[in-house]
Amino acid sequence: MARPSATPPVHAKLGYKAADDLLLHLPIHYEDETRLSRIADLAPGRSALLEGVVERAEVLYRPRRQLLVSLREAGTEAPFHFRMLNFYPNQLAQLRPGVRLRLYGDLRPGFFGAEMIHPRWRMVAEHAPLAGALTPVYPTVAGLAQARIRKAVEAVLATADLDETLPDPLRARLGLPGFADALRRLHAPGPEDDVAGLERRSHPAWRRMKFDELLAQQLSLRLYAGQRRRRQAPVLAEAGLAERLLANLPFPLTGAQSRVLAEIRADLARPYPMHRLLQGDVGSGKTCVAALAALVAVGSGRQTAVMAPTEILAEQLYLKFREWLVPLGIEVVWLAAALKGKARQASLAALADGRAAVAVGTHALFQDEVAFRDLALAIVDEQHRFGVEQRLALRAKGADAAVVPHLLMMSATPIPRSLAMSYFADLDVSVIDALPPGRKPIATRVVGEAKRAEVVARLRDYCAAGAQAYWVCPLVEESEKLDLKAAIDAHAELAAELPELRVGLVHGRLKADQKAAVMAEFKAGGLDILVATTVIEVGVDVANASLMVIEHAERMGLAQLHQLRGRVGRGGRESTCLLLYAEPLSETARRRLRIVKDSQDGFAIAREDLALRGPGEFLGARQSGAPLLRFADLEADLDLLEAARSAAERLLHDDAAAARRHLARWLPHGFDWLHA
Ligand code: ADP
Ligand code: MG
């Protein structure tokens, strides 16, 4: 007895939670079976529906096994052909002379005259009616036929709620069609519709979908922002400790630093959680602003957690925080995955009983076993390198669910305006827009690998004059092993070529204390050259280092190159960055290198980066795998985004019920990941 088959329903196969989700499963293109074309009128390459009567069907064996069918169109003399490279015996049996067929496909010039290869075909009676609407072609997955999707979509269209959620005046102002009308037009456009516009997604029906999607996003962000203001956070307003650090620092804050610090302090003094991004180019001095913020929390008797995406970055932060906070009598503990045994227990205990006011570390900070007595502020460095869930998890470390810690995120990668308006709409942004005084521009050169010997000679002179240099070996895609080998080889080579210089090596596989020792030695001037993998990408701070050589710069992303380069140019010396590349250089790589060479403006570079890579990188969404916008394109549809933003405000105010229905339609399963 056959077991009942457990074929999942169409929506599940396509990855949706509910059948109604199919409403918004929109076609990628259309096939026009609403009219019959004549061969004589057809331009090559354009798909069309033809009709003809079979004259002959034969199986050929050369150049390979195939079925060749000759047909004659009514009123023409010369036959045309179609070919099937895969076919079943029963298909051959159907194709008897005299049978009338309709074929859909594109006609191209072939060996036997005009022909179609693998058209869709079916037998028809003479004068069979034509389709009344265009045939949608949907995105699909292996093993799921278009016909099944079409049927499922039709069923949902017939039963689902297609009520209008936008007020008429708004629709009129934006020139958008009604929802039901737009949706029907997308799934089943009539012969009179602008198919090219539908396929290009510029048709008003598409604009309606994009607008709706953006509006849902805006509504959701606004509701969330409202919720945040109703949550409770500890009021942190005691500035005594921060003042003491300010007095101890060897430099005055820049105007930009003072301004952003004031913004952060104003947030911390409010009874609801801060949600602020501190943006500042590489080297702009975000760390000491973060430390001052932490001290406001500590001064109020509360704890701060400081998290960085890699161990080496976290270590750099840890060292800085210790340097600044320990003299004030504050205990700072370290927490990373590599920290084990007694040391780990000691860190955990100090956080749990509140002895340690500050914890610095990696992802390890938000594991279950980590309990804070009184977490009031979470600081996340290089926030875009964390997954969304990770940022949420750290925030969930507040002592009790009713009180939410303040959140300060930091990034050297500025968020482009379109993203700031959309995904980051509930985010306050502070920008450090000036570097500390005395920074010199970094001369950047792009050098072919053939000139490596010259580069090494240059390195020798540089170090002989007392400067220090980084030699960066890039990440080898997907292979930490190869990555490591490249760095080890480069280190051995350089040490052999420059015997009079002290060459050190640091990479991700070293133990934390080994890494720290090498970094400390370099910082103290005990090494002339530090060979490193991209572990030094951000956060590393050695003022005397003024030359950076980046090997295989063509493999690296824009932001990465900019961040790496930011490790030099911090001291009094003229600094140089040499971007070594290996042929062949792709067009994109060439463009990237040119951008980095020509610009030292992190904002300009980030804009180019967005254009080259899309928004996922900025959102940390790559890690979470969460979908971004499905229909709207933030850059191309900026006008709709702006319209959606003001409409969201109005709609929430004028017709909260409609806003709710709109959200239920577009985000039936929540949107939580956006709010991290
Ligand atoms: P980033 O913003 O890239 O994290 P850092 O906080 O690491 O930058 O700061 C870069 C360097 O500049 C550090 O050595 C830091 O001590 C120094 N610095 C920070 N603020 C100032 C300032 N106002 N004047 C002089 N140097 C500063
Ligand atoms: Mg930093």
Write the DSSP assignment of 332-346 as a string of letters.
EEEE-TT--HHHHHH
Superfamily of domain 240-432: P-loop containing nucleotide triphosphate hydrolases (3.40.50.300)
Q: Mean pLDDT across the stretch 565-587? A: 87
Q: Categorize the per-residue pLDDT at 427 as very low, low, confident or very high, splitting at 50, 70 and 90.
A: confident
Mean pLDDT of the chain: 86
CA of 410 to the centre of ligand 2 (A): 8
- 400-403 CB contacts, 8 Å cutoff, 24+ apart: 402/232, 403/232, 403/233, 403/234
Q: Mean pLDDT across the stretch 417-433? A: 78
Write out the two tokens for 530.
């530090």
List pLDDT tens digits, range 516-541.
Answer: 788 889 989 999 999 988 766 544 67
Q: How far apart are CA 52 and CA 15, in angstroms?
A: 40
List pLDDT tens digits, range 630-668.
Answer: 888 877 888 998 999 999 989 999 999 999 999 988 887
Pocket of ligand 1 (CB under 6 A): 251, 253-254, 257, 280, 282-288, 412, 436, 541, 570
Which residue type is seen at 342?
A: K
When mean pLDDT is compared over 323-327, 381-385, 395-399, the highest value belongs to: 323-327
Q: Give the SS3 label for residue 442.
A: strand
By alpha-carbon position, which residue is closest to atom 4 of ligand 1? Answer: 286
Q: Where are the alpha helices (DSSP H) in 116-203?
A: 146-159, 168-174, 179-187, 195-200
Write out the two tokens for 564.
């790496």
CB 452 within 8 Å of CB 585: no
By alpha-carbon position, which residue is closest to atom 5 of ligand 1? Answer: 285
By alpha-carbon position, which residue is closest to atom 1 of ligand 1? Answer: 283
Q: How far apart are CA 40 and CA 196, in angstroms?
A: 22
By alpha-carbon position, which residue is closest to atom 26 of ligand 1? Answer: 436
Q: What is the pLDDT of residue 216?
A: 92
Superfamily of domain 36-129: Nucleic acid-binding proteins (2.40.50.140)
Q: How far apart are CA 39 and CA 127, in angstroms?
A: 18
Do domains 36-129 and 240-432 share one topology? The answer is no
Class of domain 442-599: alpha beta
φ/ψ of residue 532, rounded to 5: -145, 150
CA of 436 to the centre of ligand 2 (A): 14
Q: What is the pLDDT of residue 469?
A: 95
Q: Please choose from 277, 279, 284 the residue to mutate so as to test ligand 1's pocket, defined by most ligand atoms within 8 A of CB.
A: 284
List pLDDT tens digits, range 232-271.
Answer: 999 999 989 999 999 999 999 999 999 999 999 999 999 9
Ligand 1 atom nearest residue 252's Cα: 23
For residue 38, pLDDT over 60 is answered with yes
Which residue type is seen at 555?
A: R
Percent of the chain past pLDDT 90, that is, above it, reads 52
φ/ψ of residue 658, rounded to 5: -65, -40
By alpha-carbon position, which residue is closest to atom 23 of ligand 1? Answer: 253
pTM above 0.75?
no
Q: Categorize the per-residue pLDDT at 135 as very low, low, confident or very high, splitting at 50, 70 and 90.
A: very high
Every domain of the chain and the residues it spans:
10-28+138-200, 36-129, 240-432, 442-599
By the CB criterion, residues less than 5 angstroms from ion ligand 2 are 539
Q: Please choose from 245, 249, 251, 408 the residue to mutate so as to test ligand 1's pocket, defined by most ligand atoms within 8 A of CB.
A: 251
List pLDDT tens digits, range 189-219.
Answer: 988 899 889 999 999 999 999 999 999 988 9
* DSSP tag of 546: E
